[in-house]
Amino acid sequence: MNEKRIKLAATEDVQEFVKAAGNCDFDIDATYQRAIVDAKSLLGVLSLGLSKELTIKYCGENPVFENVMKKYAVM
C-alpha cells in the first residue's frame, strides 16, 4: 500500500488529479481527518476541501498518476 500526502489548492488541480486517478485500474482513497472518499470522484475530493493536506492511499502503479502526485506532493 502506497501512502502520500498532497495539497490541491484550486478546482483545476482537483480536476487534473481526479482525471489521472480515473485512468488507474486500482482503487485510490483520499482522506482528510476521518473522512474517506474515492479519489476518482470529483465531488468526493472537492467535498474534502481545497488547500488541505490530503492523504492518498493506493495499491498499484501508473506513471502518469505518479507524476501528478509529485506535482502536488507535500514535503
Encode pLDDT of 17-36 as tens digits: 999 999 999 999 999 999 99
The residue range of the domain holding 67 is: 2-71
All residues at 6 or more sequence positions from 51 whose CB lies less than 8 Å from its CB, including other chains: 7, 8, 9
Q: What is the pLDDT tens value at each position of the chain, 75 positions in all?
A: 999 999 999 999 999 999 999 999 999 999 999 999 999 999 999 999 999 999 999 999 999 999 999 999 997
Q: What CATH number corresponds to the domain at position 61?
A: 3.30.1340.10
- Structurally, the chain folds into a number of domains equal to 1
pTM to 2 decimal places:
0.94
